[in-house]
Amino acid sequence: MNDTPEVAVLRYGHRPGRDDRMTTHVGLTARALGADRVIFPDNAGQSQETVEDITERFGGPFEVELTGQLDATIREWEGSVVHLTMYGERVQDVTGDVRETHREEALLIVVGGEKVPFEVYEEADWNVGVTNQPHSEVAGLAVFLDRLFEGSELERAWKDADQRVIPQERGKRVVDGGDLTEEHGASTNDSGVDGA
């Protein structure tokens, strides 16, 4: 995000049919909250298509990749590795160190989808827990990214969007990407699109 080194999210493991929605949400959360790309297992093609479609419609830049080499991706990563796990160090205790390191080098965030082998815990520079309680890996990723970027990801400008959501107190408003003015992108030329 911006002029900092890359942040990539790796979804470790995917069970087709069972994990489709969760894997897709890992990708959408990575995109919306500041990561530069997501790497899915090679059997998560449906999730790849969905995230690419959202990126095309609502803007980027954001990349989606498939790999059959999850362990090699972690092992050969040129930068630091964070593994999000309920068993890790408390997020509030380590995010400052991660952020400081990320100023100098790329960051890979590993998000488990099924049982993660012990080697991933050993390869990670940080094993990080968000509350050290069982909950969704999507929630953990969202909290971690927000703490990493200190909220700056919420101000991100989306390039080449076909559609843009206009914030409303009530109701929904989505306009064509080209129908925007400077202030909040509001335009009188409403496309009438009801949402994603």
Report the C-alpha gap between 61 and 76 in whole angstroms: 24
Q: Are residues 51 and 23 in the same domain?
A: yes
Q: pLDDT per residue over 27-49, tens digit each?
A: 999 999 999 999 999 999 999 99
7 is in an annotated binding site: no
Q: Are residues 190 and 100 in the same domain?
A: no
Which domain does 174 fall in, by range? 162-196
> How many separate domains does the chain show?
2
pLDDT on residue 196? 47
Q: pLDDT per residue over 132-177, tens digit each?
A: 999 999 999 999 999 999 999 999 999 999 999 999 999 999 999 8
- Which tokens go with 33? 């909250």
116 is in an annotated binding site: yes
- Which tokens go with 147? 């703490």
Query: Which residues are paired to 102 by β-bridges?
Result: none
Compute the average pLDDT of residues 117-146: 98
Q: Are residues 59 and 101 in the same domain?
A: yes
Q: Are residues 105 and 174 in the same domain?
A: no
Which residue in 33, 50, 52, 47 sits closest to 145, CA to CA? 33
Q: pLDDT per residue over 182-195, tens digit each?
A: 444 433 334 444 44
- Which tokens go with 77? 């990563």
Q: Are residues 148 and 189 in the same domain?
A: no
pLDDT on residue 3? 81
Compute the average pLDDT of residues 3-16: 96
154 is in an annotated binding site: no
Report the C-alpha gap between 99 and 105 in whole angstroms: 10
Which residue in 122, 43, 139 sits closest to 86, CA to CA? 139
159 is in an annotated binding site: no
pLDDT surpasses 70 at 23: yes
In a domain, 2, yes or no: no
pLDDT on residue 115? 87
Half-sphere exposure of 137 (CA within 13 A, CB side): 27
H or E stretch including 123?
A: helix 118-123
Report the C-alpha gap between 82 and 112 in whole angstroms: 11
Q: Are residues 82 and 143 in the same domain?
A: yes
Q: Residue 184, Cβ neighbours under 10 Å: how many? A: 10
Buried b (16+ CB within 10 A) or exposed e, 118-151: eebeebbbbbbbbeeeeeebbebbbbbbbbbbee
Q: pLDDT per residue over 48-92, tens digit each?
A: 999 999 999 999 999 999 999 999 999 999 999 999 999 999 999
